Amino acid sequence: MTHDAGAGGTQKQFFFAGIDGVKFRRPVVPGDTLVMKVVLTKLNKRFGIAKMKGQCFVGDELACEAELTLALGA
């Protein structure tokens, strides 16, 4: 797993809490390399909830996209 440490971040742990608006664009088969790009779209520090827009690519082709909800761990 890689991330861009220069873009900010936190040492706190977030856990998967939900997924919305999932769209599968193409099949992914064994042997494909799946690259996931995720962008933080909303952060509610008071309630410890983060929303992210994620896209999965095989090469240059969009394979899947969704909005992810994450919850801050205790």
Distances (CA, A) of 38 to 30, 31, 46: 23, 22, 22
State pTM to two decimals: 0.73
The answer to whether 17 and 73 have CB atoms below 8 angstroms apart is: no
As a whole-number percent, the residues of the chain with pLDDT over 90 amount to 76
* Contacts with 51 (C-beta within 8 Å, 6 or more apart), sequence order: 40, 41, 42, 43, 67, 68, 69, 70
CATH fold, domain 12-72, is: Thiol Ester Dehydrase; Chain A (3.10.129)
C-alpha 27/C-alpha 40 separation (Å) is 26
Q: What's the confidence (pLDDT) of residue 49?
A: 95
Over residues 13-18, mean pLDDT: 92
As a whole-number percent, the residues of the chain with pLDDT over 70 amount to 86
Judged by DSSP in three states, 7 sits in helix
19-45, pLDDT tens digit by residue?
Answer: 999 999 999 999 999 999 999 999 998
Over residues 43-63, mean pLDDT: 95
